[in-house]
Structures are given as C-alpha cells and as structure tokens.
Amino acid sequence: MNQKKFEDLREKYPTFIYDSYEIKDEENNLKIIFNFEIEGLAKFHPYYEIDKKYITNKNIDKSLFDNIVFHIGLIELVSYFKCTCSKNVIIKAGYLDESQINWFKKLYYYGLGEMLYKNGINVELNDLMDIKIIHEKETIGKIEYTGIGNLIPIGGGKDSNVTLELMKSEFDINTCFVINPKDVNIKCCETAEYDDDKICTIKRVLDKRLIQLNDEGFLNGHTPFSSLVAFVTYFIAYVQNKKYIILSNEASANEPTVIGTKINHQYSKTYEFENDFNDYTKKYFNIDIKYFSLLRCLNEFQIGLLFSKYKKYHNIFKSCNVGSKNTPWMWCGKCAKCMFVYIILSPFLDNEELNKIFDKNLYEDESLLDILLELSGYSETKPFECVGTYGEVRYALSLAIKKYGDDLPILLKYYKEHFDLELDNKYEKMFNEENNLDKKFVSIVKEELDKYV
C-alpha cells in the first residue's frame, strides 16, 4: 500500500533541502543550476541553459533577475521532493514570507493532487510539508520596466496553434517560446511563419539520479509542469522586455479530473492558478508583465472548431504524450489524448482528413471503448490527461453520430445504443466571461469565432 510507503519514506528521509542556485556566465549561454538534497539519500543538480542572444533587456535588475531564478527552483524542486515527500522542506536559497510559504504549499498540494490520488496517499494540505526559511529578507525596490509585445509558449498541439493563428495581427511583436524543443514545436512555429529570430528556446535537464530513484520504486507521479512554464516564461518575458505571456489554456481545464474534488490533472492550467500567479508576481516581482490564456474564454469544442479550419497544421501538430517519447513524435492511436483529439475534431473533419492525421479510424477500434466512456463521463474519473469536459465530449460524439448517419463505426454505434444524444447545449456559441483577456484580445477571439459560428 503506497500510504505505508509514503509514511515510511517520510520517516526515513524527513528532510528535503533547496540549498542554492548558481548562474554561470558561459561563452554563449547562461547556465542555471539548482542544488537540491534529500538528506541521507541523494543530491540533485538539474540545470537550464539559455543562449545569451535571447537576453535583449539592457536594463536588467540583478536582484529581480536572481529572485525569479530562485522561484524557478521553487517549482523545479517538486519533481525531486515527490520521491520521498519529506515532511521538512528547508529553503536556504532565498527568502519567502509567511504568505509566500502558504502560496507555495497550496500549489505543491494541488499540483501533486493527481500523484497523491493515484498512489492512494491521504494527506491534508497543511500536513504535506513544513517549510522553513534559512535566509534573510532582501528588499527589492520599485523597478522601472516597460514591456512591449507578447511571449507565446508553443507546445505543438492544436491549442497553441490556434493561439498562433489568432495572434497573427500582432506578428511583429510576438515571440514563440519552447522548452526543450522538438521538431513538432519548431515546425508549428515555422508554419506560422516565425523564423529563428522569433523563436526562443531553452534547455531544461533533469538530474539522472531522479530517473534512478523512479526506477528503484520511490514515489512518482504527475507534477504541475504548467506552473514551471509560468515562472520560466516570466523569466524569459523579463529578459526580453515583453508585456504579455499568452498561454493556450481553455475554459475546460477548470473541470476537475475527479468530479466533486479539486483533483485536477490540469490544476496549474486552471483559471484559479492563473489568478494566483498574477496576484503573486504583481506583489513580489512588482513589474508589469501579465500572464493569461488567450483561449480561456473558449471551450475545447470551440478550439476544435477553429483548429479544423487551419489545415496547414493538420499534418504537423501532435498532442499524444505516449507518442512524444518516440522520434519522430507520433500519435499512438491508443491513449486518451489521441481519442479525445479525434472526438473533438470529428464533427468538423471528414473521415479521410481524420484518418490521415491518426493513420486509422479510432471509432473502429473496440479497444478504445473504455477510454471513450471515461472521456464522456460514464466512468469513475476522467482520464488523467489534458482533455475536455464531459459535456463537450458528449456533444461532439452526438454530432459525429448525426454526421455519420446510419453507417456508424463500432464505438459510435455502441454509444448511440446505450446513451442519449446530447445536442441541446450549443457549445460553439458559448463564451466564458471568467478570463483575464484585455479588450483587444477579446475582440480578436470573438471576431475569429464569429466567422464560423
């Protein structure tokens, strides 16, 4: 039972230390190294490399620069902390006040919610860890900063490609950003006509000892990667004088994976986290950089509708996490992410177009029935993936059944025989008002959506 393993590991390895970070000025790169330790077990030294050509801000404040780097380490540590979930977390690398400590405790707890749930671990928010600060407070004064333009993280899936298309009108002041780029990410940027000068990449390297501990059976599971993206993009936005960080997280990300709880695979993509992050950075970094999702006003169904119109990306984009481990990145055709993307595009693309993307008709694969039921809400939980809400999935399936007519493939035939079709909620006409979009961005999204609805 993992609850016992959790308790045994916390007893055997009670202390995790964020010791320090180092910023090394190499010939062409800045190398940022974080130094962590699980006392009595392992030391870790993950690092980042960034080409100095991407650092274009000529008025960098060293105290703020260092403070943002320190905060990246506060998120990076989660991947290492989770091995033992040590009760005592000692921060030597920088200062946090009580409010900051509570902010991070909330992020760690809900960001690790999936890992705790899937490992059968029961622990309350305030019991997961005690955070002790071994560092004196440093005062950072008001910094003069005027950002211009947009930093757009690109994951390579349909969502970020929709953002690229929506933001075409601001092309000249956009920069694409990718952590550990693969061919897919770069091809998506290039398809949107961004060249090397407008694509910023950064290298992130995990410590190999972490992989060893995972293989040895220490605690493992999902971490809030999007919160890491938040702090890393904030760092890049600062060194590039950007005003906006434009994410591609949709309204659907707010729905919990385990309905009735706050357990959410996408916790750090939620509107709640987005607001928390903006409140935090405004208070503690005190410069005008705004972090928001352009697609927060839309649901996954609407994003599927828009993406279906952007044909130039259809043979490039990839979302499958299983297939991402292959070179080249491919759709596995067997996982929940593949099934979801197939479903959400099926009302808009004909069979030939869909099959060209996925190499087969996923609705004809009986082995995917359980996944389809999970996605549509006829199972205990949603898949632990970045997928849409039950309602959107049911609506897309119902429209697909209507489109197919009498000659239904296996999975749609099963769905029609067992469940009522849901066609009343017109998801394409919805607009989520809970968002952080400035008026000009609202206009961009609404004008594009109005073309097709």
Q: What is the DSSP code string of 276-331?
A: HHHHHHHHHT-S--EEEETTTTS-HHHHHHHHHH-GGGTTT----TTGGGSSS---
What is the model's pLDDT at position 1? 57
Residue pair 82/219 in contact (Cβ under 8 Å)? The answer is: yes
Residue pair 297/137 in contact (Cβ under 8 Å)? The answer is: no
Distance CA 453, CA 164 (A): 20
Q: pLDDT tens digits for the chain (453 residues)?
A: 589 999 999 999 999 999 999 999 999 999 999 999 999 999 999 999 999 999 999 999 999 999 999 999 999 999 999 999 999 999 999 999 999 999 999 999 999 999 999 999 999 999 999 999 998 887 777 788 999 999 999 999 999 999 999 999 999 999 999 999 999 999 999 999 999 999 999 999 999 999 999 999 999 999 999 999 999 999 999 999 999 999 999 988 888 888 788 888 889 999 999 999 999 999 999 899 999 999 999 999 999 999 999 999 999 999 888 877 777 888 999 999 999 999 999 999 998 999 999 999 999 999 999 999 999 999 877 888 888 899 999 999 999 999 998 899 999 999 999 999 999 999 999 999 999 999 999 999 999 999 998
Residue pair 206/79 in contact (Cβ under 8 Å)? The answer is: yes
Distance CA 157, CA 443 (A): 23
Name the DSSP class of 364.
G
Distance CA 151, CA 343 (A): 30
Is pTM, for the whole model, over 0.85?
yes
User: Do the strands 47-51 and 199-205 form a parallel or antiparallel pair, or are they unpaired?
Assistant: antiparallel
- Which DSSP string corresponds to 98-163? HHHHHHHHHHHHHHTHHHHHHTT----HHHH-EEEE-S-------------SEEEE--SSHHHHHH
What is the model's pLDDT at position 380? 78
Distance CA 55, CA 23 (A): 14
| Among 437, 431, 1, 60, residue whose Cα is nearest residue 240 | 60
Looking at the DSSP bridge assignments, the partners of residue 436 are none
Crossing angle, helix 390-404 and helix 300-309, to 10 degrees?
Answer: 50
Looking at the DSSP bridge assignments, the partners of residue 199 are 176
What is the model's pLDDT at position 384? 87
Give the SS3 label for residue 353.
helix
Residue pair 249/292 in contact (Cβ under 8 Å)? The answer is: no
What is the model's pLDDT at position 387? 87
Give the SS3 label for residue 65.
helix
DSSP alpha helix (H) spans, 321-389: 336-345, 351-358, 369-375
